[in-house]
Amino acid sequence: MTNGTRIDPEVREPRAIKIKTQKRKGKKIALIILSVLLVIAIGGGIFAFVNFGDYFEFDQFGKTAEKSDTDEEPSEPEVPQENVSEPETPEKPESLPEVPVVEDPIIEENPIPREEWFMVLVNAQNPLPEDYNIETVSVDAKGHLVDARIAEDLLAMIAAGESEGLDFVIHTAFRSYEKQKEFYEAGKTGAAPGTSEHNSGLAIDIGCARGEFEGSPEEAWLLEHAHEYGFILRYPADKVDITGFAYEPWHFRYVGKEQALLIKESGLCLEEYLAQ
């Protein structure tokens, strides 16, 4: 049994040694495999880097890779930024100018300045308030008053006509609310206070010093040129039903040069024009 017991450790020892050597061999094999794998991995990585480098460069960078030959590494983030920004930059200058170009004509196409002082509509349905207040100035030797803002254009119109040998005279200009009330109550006018355009200071009754205005050269000249100075014939013969006034060839109304031209070209009276 002693032998057996002696043998056993002897037997076990070489077994253990064999096991150990087998383990060592296994470790060596594992190390070899690992090192081979490492070599393959490193070699494969180098191989892939060297061989597929051209492929990756072509695939990712495309044609732009040629431009960034000197800076290969920093070119990677720059190239996609350039590719994104390039289509954006031409879109901006194309899209931005298109908006105002399209909108401006629409806005300016029919800009009736309804709230402007020179576009105020005065008639029986639209009387001026009793406290309507304007600054007036005299425009002739008789002291006829008009809204101070139209005096320059009015005097320029009269001067232009007179330079062509015409002779204008102003019969009526501004009439105050109180004066209109006085005339109305005295039966001198059918227009109630505030309903006469003369209460606005924007209207004149004009004539010629030589006699009858209707059919005169002064009338013909005004029908041709009054709009150039901001005036329109306010009560045309073909608009009596709309204006409520009989034909008054002598009554001109200031609306500003721009609107006077538009109204003249439209063939509308002021009521129709503002009702657009």
Q: How many residues bind Zn ion (CB under 5 A)?
A: 2
Tell me how far apart the alpha carbons of residues 218 and 251 are, in angstroms, rounded to a whole number.
13
- Closest approach, Cβ 246 to Zn ion, in A, equals 11
Among residues 76, 78, 182, 248, the one annotated as catalytic is: 248
Q: Which positions from 240 to 269 touch Zn ion by CB under 5 A, shown as an x/- string? A: -----------x------------------
Q: Which is nearer to Zn ion, 61 or 250 (CB)?
A: 250
Q: Which is nearer to Zn ion, 239 or 251 (CB)?
A: 251
Per-residue buried b or exposed e for 63-88, using 16+ beta carbons within 10 Å of the residue's own CB = eebeebeeeeeebeeebeeeeeeeee
169 binds Zn ion (CB under 5 A): no
Is 258 among the residues known to form the active site?
A: no
Tell me how far apart the alpha carbons of residues 21 and 153 are, in angstroms, rounded to a whole number.
122
- Closest approach, Cβ 236 to Zn ion, in A, equals 13
Among 140, 167, 205, 271, binds Zn ion (CB under 5 A): 205
Per-residue buried b or exposed e for 6-20, using 16+ beta carbons within 10 Å of the residue's own CB = eeeeeeeeeeeeeee
Packing angle, helices 151-163 and 217-225, rounded to 10? 130
User: 190, exposed or middle or buried, with CB in 10 Å at 0-12, 13-18, 19+?
Assistant: exposed
Q: Which is nearer to Zn ion, 227 or 251 (CB)?
A: 251
Q: How many CA atoms lie within 13 A of 169 on its CB side?
A: 10
- Closest approach, Cβ 92 to Zn ion, in A, equals 58
- Closest approach, Cβ 171 to Zn ion, in A, equals 8
Look up residue 270 and give its amino acid. L
Residue of minimal Cβ distance to Zn ion: 251
Sheet holding 203-208, edge to edge: 168-172, 203-208, 248-254, 231-235
- Closest approach, Cβ 204 to Zn ion, in A, equals 7
Q: Which is nearer to Zn ion, 180 or 259 (CB)?
A: 180
Tell me how far apart the alpha carbons of residues 218 and 214 are, in angstroms, rounded to a whole number.
9
List the structure tokens of 222: 């005004």
Q: Which is nearer to Zn ion, 57 or 179 (CB)?
A: 179
Binding site for Zn ion (CB under 5 A): 205, 251
Q: Which residues are catalytic?
A: 248
